[in-house]
A = this chain, B = another copy of it.
């Protein structure tokens, strides 16, 4: 392939180099979410490696949920519109087991300035501009959680001018700014409801809430969203699979 030979001190297998090159096409917007990408044989010709090596790169991207492969149809760029992706990043489910996705109602939205912990989490400097908005999410009209989302202003130009914010914000990030959320890291704690939480969630002050602090990363592994959710878990729970 048309790439410099791997240096002895930093050996990278060919298929990893190929994978990085293909991810780059997604970052650059050449391959957009939902799009059908060329077949394995075609990519092998383009990149100049064997079909088996292309396959290894595509398989790695598939296990990272960047691609979706369909036998007989082709390989597609994963899209945040699809329901399977929604649930990839939403782990609060009703105890009953049904798979309902919550509605959202935005409470406040404003431009502000990053404080120390916010800046650290988002990899920006203290004092840099942020978009910050707060919303309540409900399942079957029962409020389940209240969350505050913070976005670095320079990555989301014009965010404040939006007439409204959709339920699925990862779809919005993708469509409006070409930002794909590739992975996220969460920290969970149990906390007591504040007076504000209590009013919004129709519970008592001090009631136990599940607090989820999430940092979401883009394709280049840079943090792009900080989200703190405080959830009522009377009739719902957070699921986690350990393997």
Contact = CB atoms under 8 A, between A and B. Distances in A.
A207 B209 CA distance: 11
Contacts of A189: 210, 233, 237-238
A190 B210 CA distance: 5
Interface string A209-220: 111001000000
A209 B190 contact: yes
A184 B242 contact: yes
B185 A242 contact: yes
Interface string A184-201: 111111111000000000
Nearest to A233: B189
Contacts of A238: 187-189
A185 B239 contact: yes
The complex is assembled from copies of this chain, and their number is 2
Which size bracket describes the interface of A in this complex?
Answer: 20 to 34
Nearest to A187: B237
A65 interface: yes
Contact of A91 (B64, B192, B242): B242
A233 B190 contact: yes
Nearest to A232: B190
B65 A188 contact: no
Contacts of A74: none
Given A208-B209, A210-B210, A188 B237 contact: yes
A231 B190 contact: yes
A73 interface: no
A183 B243 contact: yes
B209 A91 contact: no
Nearest to A184: B242
A64 to B, nearest CB: 6
A177 interface: no
Contact of A240 (B188, B207, B209): B188
Interface of A: 64-65, 88-89, 91, 182-192, 206-211, 214, 231, 233, 237-243
10 contacts: A65-B243, A91-B240, A183-B241, A183-B242, A184-B241, A185-B241, A187-B240, A189-B237, A192-B208, A208-B208
